[in-house]
Amino acid sequence: MKLPFAESYKIKMVESLRRSTRQEREEWIKEANYNLFKLRSEHVFIDLLTDSGTGAMSDRQWSEMMLGDESYAGASSYFKMKDTIKEITGFEYFLPTHQGRAAENVLFSALVKAGDIIPGNSHFDTTKGHIEFRKAKAVDCTIAEAFDTTINHPFKGNIDLEKLEDVLKSHPKEKIPFIVVTVTCNSSGGQPVSMQNLRDVKQLADKYGIMLIYDSARFAENAYFIKTREEGYTHKSIREIVLEMFSYADAMTMSSKKDAIVNMGGFIALRSKELFEKASVFTIMFEGYITYGGMSGRDMNALAQGLREGTEFDYLETRISQVAYLGQRLVNFGVPVQQPFGGHAIFVDAKRFLPHLPKEQFQAQTLAVELYLESGVRGVEIGALLADRDPDTRENRFPMLELLRLTIPRRVYTNNHMDYVATALANVFERRNSIVKGLRITGEAPIMRHFTVDLAREM
């Protein structure tokens, strides 16, 4: 017999979870104004809000914490991180930051000015936030297939090269500081970008003399998909694939809370000494001296070790198989989900789940609230709340996809937890026609409203 799949690690330390009753959850979600970010974590049974900073560190990472060098300048932890980044990505220069958005803040401060245009594949919300905050514009050039959850395309994170070239052609070079490619593409469903597409984008970037930057939070998961789905890469190691991916980029921003499997941390890595020096000024202003940039030495050590573990094939297979396990369970129950399954999450298509609710009543958020009430499982809306208002017209933006994201933390839950989640969502699916009222906004912030928005049940 062929041996079945099994996790590439065992468990050394556990954390208790507490179940709750539906009545308790009714109270808690009301107190939270139907915003799941405002729930206390003790009121959540299985937390699939995000895979950001929620992973379980390994015994080796915890050992590295003890070896941290907390010197203000020139700490050995800094050099450990620098050497690891050089080895894995090939980038000569690097700046630590306290998380991914801080990397964006530092790098964009050096590069983006008002009126600029930044094309990419479905920019992540903080990336878009940092672009729009500087009165520049993010232009989405993702392939059309990404916006139809029923199409099975292996690389739904790909850039549409014609759309991209149109943008590059129709604006002066000075207005386009860089192209940003997000690997994997979080906003389109954790979907990967193929090596061929990275190569083609690089060619266009060179043709127009524009820099190419990767938003790299899940670069290792992207490499896993290249290895398992793209011709010519089956026999290459994850590390070889990662090196080739980054060989086409001029710089990267990284949220280490994802594929570096730490609870906090980030960095910028780049090839140009000149840009490194320019960005260093903003690191010192916003994050700290350039050899710690908002991180403690012990955290830099754990991060370096996490980068090594995060780029191992066996680990990636365990992780991505667990995500696919949940996806397959949901498909078996008939629940509409984005296919193929993403790397870090399953995205439930709320428009197909609750087609009778108007989009103005926030279908995905309504579904997230229903799943929480059913089971204590917390997912997150990736839809109209997240898409926010148009910065110019202040009108609500309704994106093509209204998704409920079930994000799987790394090395944290077992497949029994996945069964619980799938069954809970199947129960909601069975009674979907009885969900006739959605939600309305009662209070919101001027930018990135989804974190703090207040909602009420539609009358």
Biggest alpha carbon–alpha carbon distance for the chain:
62
> If DSSP codes are grouped into helix, strand and coil, which group holds residue 91?
coil
Using CA atoms, how far apart are residues 213 and 209, in angstroms rounded to an integer?
A: 13
Which 8-state DSSP code applies to residue 58?
P
- Could you tell me whether strands 266-270 and 251-255 are parallel, antiparallel, or unpaired per DSSP bridges? antiparallel
Least distance in Å: CB of 99 to ligand PLP? 3
> If DSSP codes are grouped into helix, strand and coil, which group holds residue 216?
coil
Least distance in Å: CB of 35 to ligand PLP? 18
Contact between 305 and 61 (Cβ < 8 Å): yes
* Orientation angle between helical segments 313-332 and 297-310, nearest 10 degrees: 70
Using CA atoms, how far apart are residues 187 and 386, in angstroms rounded to an integer?
A: 10
Cβ neighbors of 45 (< 8 A, separation 6 or more) are 17, 18, 19, 20, 375, 376, 377
Active-site position among 138, 146, 217, 422: 217
- Toward ligand PLP, which CB reaches closer, 186 or 363? 186
- Toward ligand PLP, which CB reaches closer, 250 or 259? 259
Active-site position among 124, 225, 233, 362: 124
Contact between 190 and 124 (Cβ < 8 Å): no
Task: Identify whether 450 is a catalytic site residue.
Answer: yes
Least distance in Å: CB of 152 to ligand PLP? 23
Using CA atoms, how far apart are residues 446 and 236, in angstroms rounded to an integer?
A: 46
Active-site position among 5, 72, 398, 451: 72
Task: Identify whether 215 is a catalytic site residue.
Answer: yes
- Toward ligand PLP, which CB reaches closer, 28 or 124? 124
- Could you tell me whether strands 439-443 and 454-457 are parallel, antiparallel, or unpaired per DSSP bridges? antiparallel
> If DSSP codes are grouped into helix, strand and coil, which group holds residue 120?
strand
Least distance in Å: CB of 77 to ligand PLP? 19
Using CA atoms, how far apart are residues 166 and 4, in angstroms rounded to an integer?
A: 48
Task: Identify whether 125 is a catalytic site residue.
Answer: yes
Active-site position among 51, 116, 140, 215: 215
Task: Identify whether 171 is a catalytic site residue.
Answer: no
Least distance in Å: CB of 418 to ligand PLP? 21
Least distance in Å: CB of 219 to ligand PLP? 10
Q: Which residues sit at the interface with ligand PLP, rule CB under 6 A?
A: 52, 99-101, 124, 126-127, 182, 186, 215, 217, 255, 257-258, 266
Active-site position among 51, 125, 140, 299: 125
Identify the helix (H) or strand (E) that includes residue 139. strand 137-140
Residue nearest to ligand PLP (CB): 100
Q: What residues act catalytically?
A: 72, 124-125, 215, 217, 258, 450
